[in-house]
Amino acid sequence: MDLMDKIYTLITGGDKGIGLETAKELGRAGQHILLGARNQARGEAAMKALRRAGVIGADLIMLDVTQEATIQEAARWITAQFGQLNVLINNAGIALDHHESPVTMPLATIRADFEVNFFGAVAVTQAMIPLLRKGAPAKIINVSSEMGSLTNASDPHSRFYRGNALGYQSSKAALNMATISFSKALAPDHIAVNAVNPGHTATDFGGGTASGQAVTAGAAPIVALSRSDAPHMTGKFIETAGQVPW
Ligand SMILES: NC(=O)c1ccc[n+]([C@@H]2O[C@H](COP(=O)([O-])OP(=O)(O)OC[C@H]3O[C@@H](n4cnc5c(N)ncnc54)[C@H](OP(=O)(O)O)[C@@H]3O)[C@@H](O)[C@H]2O)c1
């Protein structure tokens, strides 16, 4: 297979949870995984897990989405090694809110959520656009959340109405707007940009194994979109069941 025939897929926050499961499944499906991790030891452990899962084509990339230097270095390295990127999965995410009221939540907490969930995803996207243009038709998949849906949050009949995590929810709502914004800007370059809701999943983030669906179910809509050959779909917010209201 020629270098240019391969599908190169960068996953941020790939060392555990939904990101790692997505890496395993896409790697087994033949995509070349560029596994982003901010911690060397956790990244190497994830690479071992990938190999145990039968993934052959994978590289570890040290990438902290809040550290511009690591983003630029990742882009330089991918340019030198492969010259293109076909799929970018902005998966890294945090929620530091801990059920605190928006009335008293420290601004520092809200800013920290935004640094990873919004500014981190935007910074990685901007840095990877030249590589995605070379890999077009290409895809950007923003791992968002139903908790970021303004429609859900404001609907008294929605099960998300009672949730009120200002930092996490507004950072994911902002990521949704970035999805729409980049989808319009990158349509002429044949780069599709969509947001995906994994749903409540039993990861460290989602509360561990006691709650939430299996990690395979959380990764499923991301894997499906990454493997889909419908590059014309762009500017959507989707989950396994279909569309999520913005
Ligand atoms: N689990 C759920 O119920 C659920 C529901 C809806 C949406 N989501 C979304 O799904 C995505 C993945 O969540 P998950 O459940 O798999 O969570 P997780 O198991 O906690 O994994 C989060 C990943 O993000 C990484 N990360 C955090 N800050 C980072 C940074 N500054 N730079 C690079 N990587 C960073 C973590 O790296 P470290 O290992 O170094 O901490 C980890 O690899 C998130 O965007 C989350 O908002 C999850």
Contact 144, 98 (CB under 8 A): no
**Could you count the other beta carbons within 10 Å of the beta carbon of residue 43?**
18
Interval 3-21: pLDDT, tens? 457 999 999 999 999 999 9
Work out whether strand 242-243 and strand 237-239 pair parallel, antiparallel, or are unpaired.
antiparallel
Matching residue, tokens 């590059």: 231
Q: For residue 231, report the distance from its CA to the centre of ligand 1, in Å.
A: 26
Question: Mean pLDDT over all residues of the chain?
Answer: 95
Interval 80-116: pLDDT, tens? 999 999 999 999 999 999 889 999 999 999 999 999 9
> How many domains does the structure of the chain reveal?
1
Q: For residue 206, report the distance from its CA to the centre of ligand 1, in Å.
A: 9
Contact 153, 147 (CB under 8 A): yes
Cβ-Cβ contacts under 8 Å for 28 (sequence gap 6 or more): 53, 54, 55
Q: What span, in angstroms and rounded, lies between the C-alpha atoms of 150 and 59?
A: 37
Matching residue, tokens 């656009």: 129
At position 201, the amino acid (one-letter code) is T
Contact 26, 55 (CB under 8 A): no
Quick one: pLDDT band at residue 183, thresholds 50, 70, 90?
A: very high
Percent of the chain with pLDDT over 70: 97
What pLDDT is attached to residue 1? 44
Assigned token pair, 178: 């970035």
Question: Has residue 210 got a pLDDT over 80?
Answer: no
Ligand 1 pocket list (CB less than 6 A): 12-13, 15-19, 38-39, 42, 63-66, 91-94, 116, 120, 143, 145, 198, 200-201, 203-206, 212, 218
Instruction: Domain of residue 224: give its range.
Output: 3-243
Q: What span, in angstroms and rounded, lies between the C-alpha atoms of 185 and 179?
A: 10
Q: For residue 50, report the distance from its CA to the centre of ligand 1, in Å.
A: 18
Q: What span, in angstroms and rounded, lies between the C-alpha atoms of 114 and 121?
A: 10
92: domain CATH number?
3.40.50.720
Q: What span, in angstroms and rounded, lies between the C-alpha atoms of 223 and 226?
A: 5
